[in-house]
Each structure stands twice: as C-alpha cells, then as structure tokens.
Amino acid sequence: MPITNKGLLEELTHISKQDELQHITKMLEKTDALMQQVSYALICGDNETVDRLTKQALDENYEANTILDDGLIAGMAIVGIKFRDNIIFVPEVLISARAMKAGMAHLEPILSASDIPPLGIVIMGTVKGDLHDIGKNLCIMMLRGAGFVVHDLGVDTKPEEFIEAIEEQEASLIGMSALLTTTMPNMGRTIEAFEEAGIRDAVKVMVGGAPVTQDFADEMGADGYGKDAIDCVDIAKELLNLK
C-alpha cells in the first residue's frame, strides 16, 4: 500500500538518513489509512485524535497489536528521529508521549487481558540521584504494549528499593535508566548491591539512557543494553529467552 496520509508524507521529508527513511517507509507502507492517521496524530501530539481513533479502530475490530505497531509505535519512531536530529525538542516529545499514553489506555486492558499470560514481570526505575524519567516512561509504555507487566519505581531509586521490589514482585528482569554521567556509576553500584543481597543470579539486568553505552553496560556487569524504547522491548525478550 502506498502511504496516502499527506501529513505523514510531509513528516518523512524530515528524515535525512537514507537507511532510516527506507526502514520507516517500509513500515508505513504496511499500514492502512486509519493507522496512518493515528501515527500522524501521535507525531503532532494530538491527544484527542489519538484517543478517538484508537477507540474507533477497536470498534472496527482492529487487533490491539496492530494499532500499537502500525499506529502508535510507527509514529513514535518518527518522533524519536526528529528529537535526535533537533527538529523537535523535549516539549514535543512529552506531548507525543502523552498522546501515546492516551492510545495505550485503550489498548493496555486488551493486551493484558488476552489469554496469553504476561511475557514477564519487569521492574523499571531511574537510578539513585537521577530525576530524568521521560525515556524510562517511554520504555515502560512499550514494554507494557508488548505484553510485559511492569512495576515502575519512578526516579531516584535506591538500590534497596530495587531489591525490595524484586522480592515483592518476584520479578525476573530489572531495567535501570540513567541520564547523568554522574549517576551512571549508581547502576554498577546497584548491581553490586544485588550481589551482596545474594539475588544477582535471580534476575537479569538491562540498562539504558543517553550516556550509557554497550561498553559501559558490559563493564558494570549488566546483562543487556538498549539504545531506545523499541530496543528495550527486544532486549527484554532476549534476556527472558522469548525470542
């Protein structure tokens, strides 16, 4: 199917890297007019339209997963590229994230009520001393969308709080986020605290956030690193052997 949505076609002109453009174009070519409208509304941060169209799509018997992948995630992929390339800034990302949330509010009950048991229980938190949560919240939305049960510990999460949550929730996967170079070492310290508490082997640990790299993740002994929210879902599946 060709991309028919004028707004989306215009959005594609913002993508300057050829491989990304090809990838996103392919993704969108698989979607229909309604899903393209959802994507475009999400990129514009049009909360009400995303809300209304998601409901409409469900009424028209679209699969929740289709709406998530073809509508919301496709739109978010473009938002991510525009943010990285300085075309949009934090306010626009926040507004799109809010629109995503509006759509997810309809999809989540369906995704989690389907007969399939949850893929796994994940605990997510921004590490001690760090108050950045926009990226972590996006990851959580995507993880929930993919079928994980996620417990969000919020920001400034101390190692003890992670440990307590692991024990309480019987979680098998921990995701830590850090956006400050100065708080990044707290990821390693949290892992050390897991070791001291004798629970390191009971959980997998994934890490992310702008200053974090694969090398740094390896060095601190994390099991996985993800560069964005879509990656986060992939890593989570990989670590829990769901791939």
CA 5/CA 8 separation, integer angstroms? 5
Residue 177 interface partner, choices another protein, ligand B12, none, CB cut-off 5-8 Å depending on type: ligand B12
Q: Is 186 an interacting residue with respect to another protein (CB under 8 A)?
A: yes
* Position 214 contacts another protein (CB under 8 A): no
Instruction: State how far Cα 197 lies from the chain centre.
Output: 29
State the binding partner of 95 from ligand B12, another protein, none, CB within 5 to 8 A by kind.
Answer: another protein
- From another protein, ligand B12, none, which one binds at residue 87 (CB under 5 to 8 Å depending on kind)? another protein
Q: What contacts 53, CB < 8 A, 6 or more positions away?
A: 34, 37, 38, 41, 71
The two three-digit tokens of residue 161, written as one number: 């709080």
Q: Considering the rule CB under 8 A, would residue 87 count as an interface residue with another protein?
A: yes
- Alpha-carbon distance of 186 to 38, in angstroms, equals 39
Q: Which residues of 117-129 are buried (b: 16+ CB within 10 A; e: fewer)?
A: eebbbbbbbbbbb
Question: Are the C-beta atoms of residues 45 and 96 closer than 8 Å to each other?
Answer: yes
Report d(CA 35, CA 215) in Å as an integer.
38
Site for another protein in 110-139 (CB under 8 A): 128-131
103 binds, among another protein, ligand B12, none (CB under 5 to 8 A by kind): none
Does 184 engage in binding with another protein (CB under 8 A)?
Answer: yes
Cβ at position 77, least distance to ligand B12 in Å:
10
**According to the binding rule CB under 8 A, does residue 162 interact with another protein?**
no
Residue 91 is a binding residue for another protein (CB under 8 A)? yes
Q: Which range of residues in 5-13, 109-117, 167-175, 182-190 is near another protein by CB under 8 A?
A: 182-190
Residue-by-residue DSSP string for 93-150: HHHHHHHHHHHHHHHHHHHHHSSSPPS-EEEEEEBTT----HHHHHHHHHHHHHT-EE
Least separation, in Å, of the C-beta of 237 and ligand B12?
Answer: 12
Chain residues in the site for ligand B12 (CB under 6 A): 80, 90, 93, 129-136, 138-139, 175-177, 179-182, 206-211, 226, 228-229, 232, 235
Residues that bind another protein (CB under 8 A): 84-92, 94-95, 128-131, 156, 181-186, 188, 216
